[in-house]
Structure 1
Amino acid sequence: MTTDLARRLLAEGLGTAILVATVVGSGIMADRLSDDVAVSLLGNTIPTGAILFVLITILGPLSGAHFNPVVTIVFAARRELAAFAVIPYVSAQIAGGIVGTILAHAMFELPLLQASATVRSGSAQWLAEAVATFGLLLTILGGLRFKVDAIPALVGFYIAAAYWFTASTSFANPAVTIARSLTDSFSGIRPVDVPYFVIAQIFGAFVAAALARWLFTQPINQSGPTRAQGAD
């Protein structure tokens, strides 16, 4: 393993660990502080959006700040990531996510690994995950095409919004989904529901990638006459 790849993998693992520790830890804290589910969800949403901004800003220059297997796979399919790096990236993300869950539990003096009992199943949930992941990838690819320096904010704001407009509260990430199956807390998901979420996430990601390839090929020329003007 080259030093460069090792640094990138550490960035991916560390970033995913901090992201999951934030998601799980803020969920535990929010649930302890309020019996109102809406307030708890808000307490989970704000830290997640904020930490994404921070992590993408500081680790993006190292590894691309994927923190998400479907992002890695889409980038490889677009030939923006070497094929040999895909399995190491995904492995680092999954391992980092699990470490993040363990770390969150340790901070709140909970059993380090648990099996979640939170049911997240059914066609509406799966559609929500496909939509959430579609939107995330479209946000990333659109940001790369038109405003790279805004990507940390774009992703943070998108995920914060998707927590609220999707029925699944926007996991949109197989590594995070696996990690959240190991916490029986506010942010958990039953292990048996994980495969369906992952399938929906992969589907949403590739639909977004296919659309982005056409939609973002080049900016529309706004300098010429409009249709109405051309008819005069």
Structure 2
Amino acid sequence: MPSMGRRIVSEWVGSTFLLAAVVGSGIMAQRLAGGNVALALLCNTISTGAILVVLILVFGPLSGAHFNPAVSLALTLRGELTWRAMCAYILAQIAGSLAGVFAAHMMFDMPLWQVSLTQRSGAGQWIAEAAATFGLFVTIFGCTSRTPAAVPYAVGLYITSAYWFTASTSFANPAVTIARSLSDTFAGIAPSSVLPFIIAQLIGAVAATTLAGWLFRNTT
């Protein structure tokens, strides 16, 4: 097994590139779409789904390619990760996510420090986040139990789809949610909307982890 240092750096680098792709592609899409929000979202979606496949393929063998505090928590609850390792993973994921946002701002000559003004609130948004996270976790655990090699592609395709079928555009990741609150761009979320999103994500994650423990227990 790779050393903890290599695993933590993998989570940091992967999270950095993930957020650079999410925010950077959102900025580029908004600039080039000519006001067509659907087109901008499509461009943002393709970039996000594609980078997820690449990052999971690259860093999966090292750290498991979580890039998501909820995933690390779920695997800890399943006994696959220690609590100490989980804390280190989560710190790396949040730090990497913030670095990715700042990198995107620098690449597009925007102010480094921003606070999003985009409100994403209401029951529909919260239900969407819980549903998006639930589906992501069922995808991860379902593929892991049967065809582990398919996980990178399944996760990338799921997020690509969930961008469109959920009202929230499927953040499904507490670190991503926190980081996007510091980008007043196409991908932003107002700080006041962050906590309800994270609560919804954790509800979806715990529900899916519980179901997966029963549903896939005989296939491992």
Distance across 2 between alignment mates of 1:100 and 1:179: 8
Name the SS of the counterpart of 1:218 in structure 2.
helix
Deviation digits for residues 153-187 of structure 1, max 9, x if unmatched? Answer: 00000000000000000000000000100000000
- The corresponding residue for 1:93 is 93
**TM-score, normalised via structure 2 length:** 0.97
- The corresponding residue for 1:136 is 136
How many angstroms does 1:82 deviate by?
1.5
- The corresponding residue for 1:20 is 19
- The corresponding residue for 1:83 is 83
How many angstroms does 1:26 deviate by?
0.2
Distance across 2 between alignment mates of 1:92 and 1:84: 13
Name the SS of the counterpart of 1:22 in structure 2.
helix
How many angstroms does 1:45 deviate by?
0.2
The residue identity in structure 2 corresponding to 1:8 is R
**TM-score, normalised via structure 1 length:** 0.92
- The corresponding residue for 1:45 is 45
Deviation digits for residues 98-139 of structure 1, max 9, x if unmatched? Answer: 000000000000001100000100110000000000000110
Distance across 1 between alignment mates of 2:142 and 2:160: 18
How many angstroms does 1:86 deviate by?
1.0
Aligned: 1:204 with 2:193: no
Distance across 1 between alignment mates of 2:70 and 2:39: 30
Distance across 2 between alignment mates of 1:172 and 1:84: 23
Distance across 2 between alignment mates of 1:7 and 1:82: 16
How many angstroms does 1:217 deviate by?
1.4
- The corresponding residue for 2:9 is 10
Distance across 2 between alignment mates of 1:30 and 1:194: 23
Aligned length: 217
Distance across 2 between alignment mates of 1:84 and 1:166: 33
How many angstroms does 1:83 deviate by?
1.7
Structure 1 gap segments, 5+ residues each: 220-232
- The corresponding residue for 2:167 is 167
How many angstroms does 1:4 deviate by?
0.7
Distance across 1 between alignment mates of 2:68 and 2:111: 26
CA RMSD in angstroms, aligned pairs only: 0.8
- The corresponding residue for 1:108 is 108
- The corresponding residue for 1:180 is 180
Deviation beyond 4 Å, 4+ runs, structure 1: none
Name the SS of the counterpart of 2:217 in structure 1.
coil
Distance across 1 between alignment mates of 2:218 and 2:50: 31
- The corresponding residue for 2:63 is 63
Name the SS of the counterpart of 1:167 in structure 2.
coil
How many angstroms does 1:29 deviate by?
0.2
